[in-house]
Amino acid sequence: MNEKYELDERAQVLLRELINSYSRDAQPVGSKNLAELSGLDVSSATIRNIMAKLEDMGLVNSPHTSAGRIPTEAGYRFFIDSLLEVDNLETASQRIISDTFSADKTSSDLIHSATDILSQITHLAGIVSMTHTAPAEVRHIEFMKLSDRRVLVILVINKDDVHNKVIHVERDYSDLELQQAAQTLSRYLIGRSFESARRKLLDELSELRTDVNSILEPVLEAMEEVCSMTAHDDLLTSGETNLLQYAELSDINKLRSLFKVFNEKTDLLKLLDGCTSAEGVEIFIGSESGYSVLSDCSVVGAPYEIKGEIVGVLGVIGPTRIAYEQVIPIVDVTARLLTSALNTQK
């Protein structure tokens, strides 16, 4: 139990039932309803006294418009840390998530699928960060001659990310020259981190054949652009409109600020980065996120890995009254299955 709060069994039962009721209905819960929900054999006066103590502790409060009470951030935190009983994920939901990560998808497709399935199953906003993407590794390079001194560069980065880039060159190249240029680059780049191979190649560029040099530089620039895209922090989101169904988030000014956070991404990336050191699921409730715009929201996230290295975090954003006992296992299982899918690709 959280040592900051000393709650007897009856107080724990009442707090748990209050939070469960508020999560379902978004309505303050009165003593009479709590008596029925809890099944405790105590008087309404006793329940009122217990609720008054919980309010003094800062675990619940009373909205001005109602005699009932609602949980506070501290109440939710105590509930999650000390009282929450996480549900087993339904077989049907686990099968849906598992089927999402089919073997024939690329890494990019798998990560996009994770965002979509999280929002679909939880009816919240799904988010997936790629904050620690593994260094770009070149698997294949090929040139194809086009018209008007243009060359199509075909790159395969990491396992299966195919990129095409058209570059402009100073003169016309024969197919043989393009083949030689691809072979030269391949000796330096294939199977290596692009950044380290690029430095070595630039150091030795002056020693290479002159007729190949003039194409290597624009190719390197194109490759640097492609590889840098794979290394940038990025955030995928899905189902933001699901948040419209929650009354506490429906204020137009709140929605405008919230959707701005989704669009700008930077703050959410920083927040999710805080989950990378978590063992399993991490939860930020309201102001715990450090961002005022998320004061009425909770973020539930879990890291996913490639070859033992954390490469991002996935999760959901919703109101603080989300059904944590259901959302936590969904996020946890999705992170585990995405990790498995990314590490078993051929």
| CATH superfamily, region 91-133+233-343 | GAF domain (3.30.450.40)
Which pLDDT band, with edges at 50, 70 and 90, does 195 fall under?
low
Q: Report the percentage of the chain scoring pLDDT > 70.
A: 84
Across 19-23, 60-64, 226-230, the highest mean pLDDT is recorded for 19-23
Query: CB within 8 A of 36, min separation 6: which ones?
Result: none
Question: What is the dotted CATH code of the domain comprising 9-83?
Answer: 1.10.10.10
128-169 tens-digit pLDDT: 998 545 556 778 888 899 988 888 988 887 767 787 888 888
Tell me the per-residue pLDDT of 327-341, one tens digit each, with 9 for 90 and over: 999 999 999 999 999
List of long-range contacts for 72-75, beta carbons under 8 Å, 24+ apart: 73/285, 73/286, 73/287, 73/288, 73/320, 75/15, 75/19
* Residue/partner pairs of 210-213 with CB below 8 Å, 24 or more apart: 211/177, 212/177, 212/180, 212/181, 212/184
pTM value is 0.72
Q: Tens digits of per-residue pLDDT, 81-107?
A: 999 999 888 888 888 998 988 767 888
Residue, of 97 and 204, whose pLDDT is higher: 97
Based on DSSP, count helices (H) and strands (E) in the chain, helices before strands: 12, 10
Q: Where are the domains of the chain?
A: 9-83, 91-133+233-343, 138-231
Strands 282-285 and 70-71: unpaired
**Kind and range of the H or E element at 139?**
strand 138-145
Same fold? 9-83, 91-133+233-343: no
